[in-house]
Amino acid sequence: MSSIFLVYIAATAHELFSDINRMLSPSLLLPVIGVFIVLLAGVGYVGIARQSSTLISIYTQLLVFIFALEIAAGLGVLSYRDEIRSMASNKMKKAIYEYPNDPFTANLVDYLRCCGVNNYWDWDNVLVEKNYTKCQGGNTILPESCCRKINSTMEVNKRGCLTAVNFMLHKSSLFLALGIMTVSTIQILGTYFSYSLATSLRKFKLQQVKNHFNIGNENVARQTERNEKSNHY
């Protein structure tokens, strides 16, 4: 259940942020973890079907390990926010220089309706063809996304793309946070129940061994009693 939901979150996040994929190169870690948990769930299913406490214990331990990795990844993102922001800025600057020769990047930049990474000065000495400019940016040639129409006049859009992307991420962060919290809760419950199941199976098998041993002792005792009676007669 949690693995399917995790893959669903990953697919939704990919749909939301696919337009900025070339700029930020978002990690595929989330769907990879989701697929891995699907396979891991198969191990748990086989363990339950075969009543194997060993497989269920392995499943529980790996689930705890994955949960720990998710927590570590979350803490890492919080700890390296400035580094991540710097990396995103560098990716965007690289995308700006790809604008003239890469139609995908050009469409992406125009779609975001932003100008440069931080402001329109980031386009300085990037574009050389005059037909790009639809608004005045000093001596800087600007793309279509840097122009906005205000009162029938084309003016420079001063919002940087880094701000635009941060705004998109902020709008979607609540959904992603709720999804991750839901997945984490399901994983915790799954870990608890799998641990309880493994413990119950061990107790059940131990009781079976004890019963088998007791039955064997009883059979031996009866056989001994019969032999004693036979010898007596």
44-69 pLDDT, tens per residue?
A: 778 777 777 788 788 888 878 877 77
Domains of the chain: 87-162 (1.10.1450)
Strands (E) located in the chain: 147-150, 153-156
Q: Give the CA-trace dihedral at 52, 56, 57, 61, to 10 degrees.
A: 160
pLDDT in tens, 123-137: 877 776 655 555 655
What are the beta bridge partners of residue 154? 149
pTM: 0.46
